[in-house]
Amino acid sequence: MLFPAYLIGTNDPWTMLTNISTTEYLQYEGTKFSKSKNVGVFGSNAQETGIPAAVWRYYLLSNRPETSDAEFTWDDFVTKANSELLNNLGNFVNRMLKFVVAKFDSVLPDPNEGAVEYAKAAYAFSDKDQAFVADIDALLKQFIGFMDAQKIRQGLATVMAISGRGNQFIQDNEVNNATLEADPKRVYEVVLLTINLIYTLSSVIHPFMPSTSDSILDQLQATPRVIPNAFSVDIFPGHRIGTPSHLFSRIDPKNVDKWRAQYGGAAAADAADAGPKLSKKQQDKLRKAQQKAAAELAASTPRTPEQEALEARIKEQGDVVKAVKTGEAVEGAGGVEAEVQKLKALKGELDELTKRLAGVSV
């Protein structure tokens, strides 16, 4: 408290601290980190694994114990690196950049065929793209709100939701050779918007993974930009992108046992040689911690309007099922089995949408 007191005592107009960002504890594989006991992965250990710093930054920030204790596990670390970073963000960026290189010789196509001077006029979004733009605008608003409130984990989850919405946009519009041949103008529109979404991602990812942001900018051949309040087109047709390269590489899950033994202290190393790594009690504790962390992350991850609409329909159908099971008359409802199947179908639709937004193949 001395330093702030010194500042106040000078009577100069210093910018004073207004908020303090604090966290709970991060546990390690069902136990506590301990430097003296060689339990846990620390800075030099992380470097020894050969995993890029950006991946470590992503995992630790996405697993940040902001409201309760969180758990570091090697299984969760590798799974998130491969399914979230690689499959969602990495594949989204690489897929579109490679498409531009392969189909347009690295130059962004013009949906309006030169009829608009883009540097002097804002890009006019087509009616087909209004829902997409509205979703991105809503996610950007959420992101800024989370960051202003120092909810860093939720801010990063929103970044991944923006990337996931980009993946969904490509899939919904079937950006491929057949569509390019049948409706080139539509493909040009989707490509232009997607490249600009990647440009937006370069700004919102920078607070968490600056080297990843730099790599995206280098591949786009674009200058750094501020975090926007709303989605816009700022890279225009005729712009030539750079050489695409992978943002992330797959981590081999086979390394998990090795790292767990290497950074889990003498007891973990002995257990790795002997057979089972954790007692049943430890396994139960670890599983509960992982389930709790997953539930918290799911609750804090922003939903797109489409997800929210499906969740509302699932709740309504759940009420119908409950009513039918109790014998209550519900207009338009069928038998119990029929209504249960409707509920299952809606849940399956939501699950498929969530996987698409996360970049997981379905």
Domain boundaries, the chain: 50-302, 304-362
Q: Is the predicted pLDDT of residue 264 greater than 90, yes or no?
A: no
Residues facing residue 71 across a β-bridge? 27
In this structure, of 32-36, 154-158, 313-317, the range with the lowest mean pLDDT score is 313-317
CA distances from 276 to 260, 273, 279 (A): 12, 9, 7
Mean pLDDT score across all residues of the chain = 86
pLDDT in the model for residue 273:
47
CATH 1.10.730.10 fits 50-302, yes or no: yes
What is the distance between the alpha carbons of residues 191 and 327, in angstroms, rounded to a whole number?
Answer: 53
Tokens at 178, concatenated: 């057949």
The token duo for 244 is 């695409």
pLDDT in tens, 83-103: 999 999 999 999 999 999 999
pLDDT in tens, 296-308: 555 555 667 777 7
With bands split at pLDDT 50, 70 and 90, how would you rate the model's confidence at 238? very high
Q: Quick one: average pLDDT of 221-236?
A: 95
Instruction: List phi, psi (to 5°) of 13.
Output: -80, 60
pLDDT of 36 > 90? The answer is no
For 26, phi then psi, to 5°, come to -100, 120
Question: What confidence category does residue 286 fall into, taking pLDDT thresholds of 50, 70 and 90?
Answer: low
Q: Tokens 């590489």 map to which residue?
A: 249
- Find the mean pLDDT for residues 57-76: 93
Find the range with the poorest average confidence among 143-157, 160-174, 326-340: 326-340
User: What is d(CA 42, CA 44) in angstroms, rounded to the nearest whole number?
Assistant: 6
CA distances to 63, 158, 202 from 221, in Å: 32, 25, 12
Amino acid at 254: K
Helices (H), the chain: 2-10, 43-48, 53-62, 74-80, 91-104, 130-148, 152-172, 177-182, 184-204, 210-220, 255-262, 265-274, 280-300, 305-325, 336-358
Reply yes or no on whether the pLDDT at 61 is more than 70.
yes
> What pLDDT does residue 283 have?
65
Contact 165, 135 (CB under 8 A): yes
Query: How large is the average pLDDT for residues 335-362?
Result: 73
pLDDT of residue 60: 96
d(CA 60, CA 33): 14
Q: From CA 189, how far away is CA 237, in angstroms rounded? A: 10
pLDDT at 272: 47
- First-to-last alpha carbon distance for the chain, in angstroms, is 54
pLDDT band at 361 (very low <50, low <70, confident <90, very high): very low
* pLDDT surpassing 90 at residue 59: yes
Read off the pLDDT of each residue in 46-75 and give the average, rounded to a whole number. Answer: 94
Higher pLDDT, 282 or 126: 126
* List of residues 6+ apart from 81 with CB closer than 8 A: 51, 55, 58, 59, 248, 251
Residue 62 has pLDDT above 60, yes or no: yes
pTM over 0.85: no
Asked whether the CA dihedral 143, 146, 151, 157 is positive or negative, the reply is negative
Instruction: Give the per-residue pLDDT at 276.
Output: 46
Q: Which pLDDT score is estimated for 331?
A: 74
Least confident of 86-90, 260-264, 287-291: 287-291
* Average pLDDT score over residue span 162-171: 94
Measured between alpha carbons, how far is 318 from 7 in angstroms, rounded to an integer? 59
Q: What is the mean pLDDT of residues 339-346?
A: 84
CB 42 within 8 A of CB 60: no
224: which residues sit within 8 A by CB, 6+ positions away? 202, 203, 206, 213, 217
> 210-220 vs 184-204: helix axis angle to the nearest 10?
150
Give yes or no for residue 26 having a pLDDT over 60. Answer: yes
